[in-house]
Structure 1
Amino acid sequence: MKKTLLYIFIIIFLTACANKNNVTKNNLNNNSKKLYNLIIKSSEYIDKNEASDFSTNIILHSVFLAKSYKVNTHPLIHNTLINLNLKQKGFCYHYANDLLKYINYKKYKSFKFKKIVSNRNNYFEHTAIILTRKDINFENSIVLDAWRDAGKLYFSKIKDDKKYKWELK
């Protein structure tokens, strides 16, 4: 019992002052432009207006999800809080599923989305989504990972992601 209380105290202490999901207008604009450029360079058939709309909206929705999950600390600590029944949502698959719901609602036409997994069937299994098309091979598909940085959307080509080795889920 004392050990459990100590763990809870440590977790609360570590999370009390943290706030990781603030977005400034400059950050939003810079990250939206980076994601937009990555998307339009992936295929000449991608609609630029859709790419622009998507880039801004997916970044904002990632932050929205983190706030709705009440994430205010490192994702692994947040996962521990969920496992201790102190938080309800915020695992990587929650982000992936909720991002897919949002994306499907928006009905983007010039690209597709699929779930991906790293470390399948291991303790640290991780789920995210990719933006892809028929003319974009898997290695050049774009990883969209809102869990990794606690709501700040991580994005890169699969081949450029040094942290995870991805495969289709």
Structure 2
Amino acid sequence: MSFRRACCFNAPTAVAVLVLAALVCPFSATARKREELVLARSTEDPVLTRRLFGLAPGVSAEEARKVAAVAYTTGRELKREWRVVWPPGVQNFLVNIGRRKGGLCFQWATELLIRLDALKLETLELHWAESFATTASEHNVIVITAKGQPFEKGILLDNWRYGGQLAWASVAGDPHYRWSENRPEMNRRLGRRTITAR
């Protein structure tokens, strides 16, 4: 009776598998176990609405509800319009070769920013957030804070990460990215002039 090994070790194959795993799961090596992202479940997601409302005592419950609804519907609408596929890297590739109209992270963030800005919020404030700025891994999202609250205390809204399904978390709690604010970029995206101090 002869014995055959069911699995053979092949160095080139093992290297290829490791490289593929790193490409498919790029966050595993750098993930920080601080907080889980939460996926919004509907336009009236009660958990997201409560978190937005709870940013500060002066936040309007109606504004919190509107922000949650707009963020959720923006992802759903753009997913259909842009014919989004998952994972996001595949969508990015399709956009970059001209096979899809949109779906890069900055496009998701810009569309959400414009729609939220149209709400003319009085108790909540919008922020443009970026991570790994000016690199091939750059990622952009919108952050919501209470009016006058520091950026770091905000809640990030990300429609890109799960292909149109709204993911959210506290800015400081994102397990995969470290965020910084870029106010001039937000103003540029909204077509506003940035005033600089002299």
Q: CA offsets, 1:12-43, max 9 Å, x none? A: xxxxxxxxxxxxxx9316x7111111111111
> Hey, what's the Cα distance between the residues in 1 that align with 2:148 and 2:95?
39
* 1:69 aligned residue: 82
> Hey, what's the Cα distance between the residues in 1 that align with 2:70 and 2:92?
25
Q: Secondary structure at the match of 1:131?
A: strand
Question: What percentage of residue pairs aligned between the two structures are identical?
Answer: 23
Please give the residue correspondences for 1:1-169 in structure 2 after superposition, counting only pairs within 5 Å.
Answer: 27-28=41-42, 32-169=45-182
> Hey, what's the Cα distance between the residues in 2 that align with 1:88 and 1:145?
19
How far residue 54 of structure 1 moved from its aligned partner, in angstroms, is 2.0
Q: Conserved in 1, the CA contact under 8 Å of 2:145 and 2:154?
A: yes
Aligned-CA RMSD value: 1.7
Whichever structure has more helix as a proportion of its residues is 1
Mark the runs of 5 or more structure 1 residues left unpaired by the alignment: 1-25
What TM-score, normalized to structure 2?
Answer: 0.68
How far residue 81 of structure 1 moved from its aligned partner, in angstroms, is 0.8
Q: CA offsets, 1:129-167, max 9 Å, x none? A: 100134422221110111111111111111111110000
Letter in 2 for 1:123: A
How far residue 123 of structure 1 moved from its aligned partner, in angstroms, is 0.9
How far residue 84 of structure 1 moved from its aligned partner, in angstroms, is 1.5
* 1:23 aligned residue: none
Letter in 2 for 1:83: N
Runs of 4 or more consecutive aligned structure 1 residues displaced over 4 Å after TM superposition: none
Q: Conserved in 2, the CA contact under 8 Å of 1:132 and 1:141?
A: yes
Which protein shows a greater Rg?
Answer: 2
Mark the runs of 5 or more structure 2 residues left unpaired by the alignment: 1-39, 183-198
